Amino acid sequence: MNKKHPNHDSPEKDIQVWTQAINTHGIFFKKAVREKIEQYQDDDIKIVDEECPVAFPDQTSIDLVVAIEKKDKSSAKLIMIIECKRAYAKKKSWVFFKGNASEENMKITYHMAINEHYQIKTKNDVSIDLCPYSDGIEIDLGKMKDPTKGGNCDSIYKAASQVCKGYLGYLQAQSDMPQKGSILSIPVIITTAPLFSCENDFQDIDLKTGNLHAELELKPQHWIALRHPYSNVQGDNDYRERNYHDISARSYAFKETVYIVNSEHIDDFFKSDLLIKLKNNFLIPYSRVG
């Protein structure tokens, strides 16, 4: 039997169609990301699960669940909830826009331990400068003959919502279980799309037309932190629900920091100061918790 073909009667062109269909869906990309992360196993990083089932409130699955442990092999873990997103065209890029200064001390992860469940913030808890981005747009250069069709905000928004759903569903399940040590968790999108940040001064935008009249200034980024709004349906079981005194406090609580990483720079993210500080400062063994 010729292993090259799914069916011995399939012509060569059928194999190309099959391959293209699988490539487009992104299964091969997810497998490649898993293979890359498995190379870190000697660094106390391991794949915990693939297509992990969770619900928040309805059912979904997580592409990859990755755990980073300390050298002492305690029960403390940094859990990465990873969504793999392959850009469906070679000419697609993701461009992000900076948020306001009030979010510079932003929530970057949740910390769960025995009798504890709280947010970790950039400046208060980690002492790290992390630029918050509030918006993203996918630019498809293949459609730039008609500029009105070259940009799309839905792709990034849907990807961020998908990873938040899996991330919060995972945390929801963890919060219902007895904790034997510290657990940190962060949502991560790994994408083939090149990442850029818009560096323009917003004063260059014309309020009359809403258009930027200065030259667009873009800076390549290896990874970014996107503040993504993700609120559950009111009344559904959501451990983030509290009796907030004002809408701004509720808005802060229902925005999650999603880490978006270009697939060629996975190493940079795994070796970043952010992950190193989270691992060293907050992964507490069971004997020290309580």
Q: What is the structure's pLDDT at 286?
A: 43
| pLDDT value for 196 | 97
pLDDT at 178: 62
Distances (CA, A) of 230 to 46, 174, 185: 28, 19, 16
pLDDT of residue 96: 97
In angstroms, the CA 76 to CA 257 distance is 21
Query: What was the pLDDT predicted at 24?
Result: 80
Cα–Cα distance measured from residue 26 to residue 84, given in angstroms and rounded to the nearest whole number: 8
Give this prediction's pTM: 0.86
User: How are beta strands 77-85 and 92-98 bridged, if at all?
Assistant: unpaired
Tens-binned pLDDT, residue by residue, of the chain (290 aa): 455 555 555 556 688 888 888 888 889 999 999 999 999 876 688 899 999 999 888 899 999 999 988 766 556 788 999 999 998 767 899 999 998 766 666 777 777 765 555 566 655 566 677 888 999 999 987 766 676 677 889 999 999 999 999 998 898 887 766 666 678 889 999 999 999 999 998 888 999 999 998 999 999 999 999 999 988 765 556 666 655 666 666 777 788 999 999 999 999 999 998 888 888 777 655 433 33
Residue (of 151, 136, 152) closest to 228 by Cα position:
136
